[in-house]
Amino acid sequence: MSAWPLQDRTSIVGIGETEYWKAGGADRTEFELACEAVRRAVADAGLTLADVDGLTVYSGERSDPTEVAQALGLRDLRFVSLYPGGGNSACAVLHHAAIAVGSGSADVVVAYRSICQGQFGRFGRARVGSGTARGEVGASVGGRAAFTMPLGLMSAAQSYALEARRHMYEYGTTSEHFGMISVACYANAQRNPRAVMHGRPLTLEDHQRSRMIADPYHLFDCCQESDGACAVVVTSTERARDLPHRPVHIAGAAEGLAAGDGGDRFRRPRELWTSAGLAGVARDLYERAGIGPADIDVAQLYENFTGQVLMTIEDFGFCARGEGGPFVEGGTLEWPHGDLPINTAGGNLAEAYIHGLSLVNEGVRQLRGDSTAQVDDAEHCLVVAGPSAPPSSALILRRAS
């Protein structure tokens, strides 16, 4: 495959976010938060709302682009996209923004996500269906849920626990390995005043003593439930040079779904039970950005659950398949001394669960030199969206030279 024609052609020029709260804490509506995040990101970019001509959203975003465009008085909206699924999409929306801008279909595209779990219910609670077709669990359940919910298999934590347990069985991975991921995220949140878990340090012992949710997952293996919104502005690298911040290039963006994977995870190929399903995305992403895992200075890895982060690390080639457990030992993921500092704002576990888009904001801060856990001289940041939730997506962000 020849070089990706969009390599470094588009840049992230603005990021915005609201305050983040524990679910139920927001003092405004989800819609107001969405609009606030977009306005802040556009202002951060040194642009005006009149410059915005594209919106890209995901996971049945309740703050619908048509409502947001009207409320914000956008003019000449030329590009709108809605990606399927959930947190898997957090980098796909940036992929779509890069395609829209790089192709000339739009000039300034904003990706945003608003999520008020306190106002609308927890994302991963027991419900049937998916996306906007979700409904409460009734007395009888049809479709695929007919084969899972009557068995008590009803939540994301339970489903992802099945994969974690198989990884432990095949490779000797332990709950402590999962806990090391939580500890790295929580430590970073202590440096980040925005983080919901700021002031709430976590030790490996705390992790091990925390209540079990669905074996092997303890409470601190699971992402938070949060209220908040964030947004990211993409434009051409050419235009970015005239804007206030040092541009952060989209060096590569990729999305996809492994052969045989899909909506029914019971029919996926056997080997995907111990993978984040991202090996193909990783291959495409590195090729498009023209770099490899050794070039990554810092990573923001979506934590739905910690075991899936460990499998993400394997899929992206930081260690061999099955060696994620030993790899995370000895503080590998911890800022500032680890070889692969992750989730430097605290991640979904300890900053906020804004469905992963907040990880993109933190990637941008790292390459601007603005993180509260700044990696010295960071040039490349990997951002990975929801693992083991196909089709998923990832980005490599590059500091402008």
Partner 1 sequence: MSDGPEVTGSTFPPDMPVPLVEALTEPFWTAARAGRLVIQHCTQCGTYRHLPHLMCSTCQSSAHDWVESAGTGTVFTYTIVTHPVHAATAAVVPYNVVVVELDDCGGVMVPGNVLDCPPDEVHAGMPVEVVFERVTDEITIPRFRRVT
- Count of positions on this chain that bind partner 1 (CB under 8 A): 41
Tell me the closest approach of the beta carbon of residue 221 to partner 1, in angstroms: 12
Shortest distance, CB of residue 90 to partner 1, whole angstroms? 24
Active site residue 353: yes
Residue 162 binds to partner 1 (criterion: CB under 8 A): yes
Which one of residues 126, 204, 243, 400 is an interface residue with partner 1 (CB under 8 A)? 126
SS3 179: helix
Owner of token pair 């590059």: 398
Of the pair 28, 125, the CB lying nearest partner 1 is at: 125
Nearer to partner 1, 79 or 273 (CB): 273
d(CA 398, CA 401) in angstroms, rounded, equals 9
Joined tokens for residue 297: 């200075």
Separation between Cα atoms, residue 192 and residue 71, nearest integer Å = 31
Identify the three-state secondary structure at position 264: coil
> Is 161 among the residues that bind partner 1 (CB under 8 A)?
yes
For tokens 């690390």, what's the residue? 313
**Could you say whether residue 114 binds partner 1 (CB under 8 A)?**
no
232 beta partners: 15, 111
Q: According to CB under 8 A, which one of 146, 205, 320, 329 is a site residue for partner 1? A: 146
Query: Do the beta carbons of residue 227 and residue 33 sit within 8 Å?
Result: yes
Q: How far apart are CA 251 and CA 9, in angstroms?
A: 8
CB of 206 to partner 1, least distance (A): 18
Whichever of 76 and 170 has its CB closer to partner 1, that residue is 170
Residue 20 designated active-site: no
Q: Is residue 296 classed as helix, strand or coil in its secondary structure?
A: coil
Identify the residue among 57, 90, 141, 378 touching partner 1 (CB under 8 A): 141
CA distance 164 to 305: 9
Return d(Cα 343, Cα 180) in angstroms, integer.
Answer: 13
- CA 372 to chain CA centroid, Å, is 19
Nearer to partner 1, 50 or 133 (CB): 133
Question: Are the CB atoms for 118 and 24 separated by under 8 Å?
Answer: yes
CA distance 302 to 37: 20
Task: Report if residue 199 touches partner 1, rule: CB under 8 A.
Answer: no
Compare residues 140 and 401 and give the one whose CB is closer to partner 1. 140
Single out the residue of 27, 211, 337, 377 in contact with partner 1 (rule: CB under 8 A): 211
- Of positions 48, 66, 133, 147, contacts partner 1 by CB under 8 A: 147
If binding is defined by CB under 8 A, does position 202 make contact with partner 1?
A: no
- C-alpha distance from residue 294 to each of 297, 319, 332, 379, 380 (Å): 8, 11, 14, 12, 10
Interface residues for partner 1 in 324-363 (CB under 8 A)?
none
- For residue 301, the cross-strand partners are 384
Contact 357, 17 (CB under 8 A): no
Residue 135 found at the interface with partner 1 (CB under 8 A): no
271 contributes a contact to partner 1 by CB under 8 A? no
Q: Which residue has 């804490």 as its token pair?
A: 25
**Which of 5, 104, 135, 139 is in the footprint of partner 1 by CB under 8 A?**
139
Q: Quick one: which of 142, 193, 376, 377 contacts partner 1 (CB under 8 A)? A: 142
Q: Report if residue 310 touches partner 1, rule: CB under 8 A.
A: no
User: Active site residue: 83, 112, 186, 353, which one?
Assistant: 353
Q: Which stretch binds partner 1 (CB under 8 A): 101-109, 134-142, 355-363, 365-373?
A: 134-142
In the bound complex, what is the minimum distance in angstroms from residue 121's beta carbon to partner 1?
Answer: 12
Q: Helix, strand, or coil here: 213?
A: strand
d(CA 202, CA 205): 8
As measured in angstroms, the least distance from the Cβ of 264 to partner 1 is: 5
Element (H, E) at 15: strand 10-17
- Give the residue with the Cβ less far from partner 1, 3 or 137: 137
Segment near partner 1 (CB under 8 A), from 55-63, 237-245, 263-271, 370-378? 263-271
Q: What are the catalytic residues?
A: 302, 353
Task: Give residues in contact with partner 1 (CB under 8 A).
Answer: 125-126, 137-155, 157-158, 161-163, 165-166, 169, 211-217, 260, 264, 266-267, 273
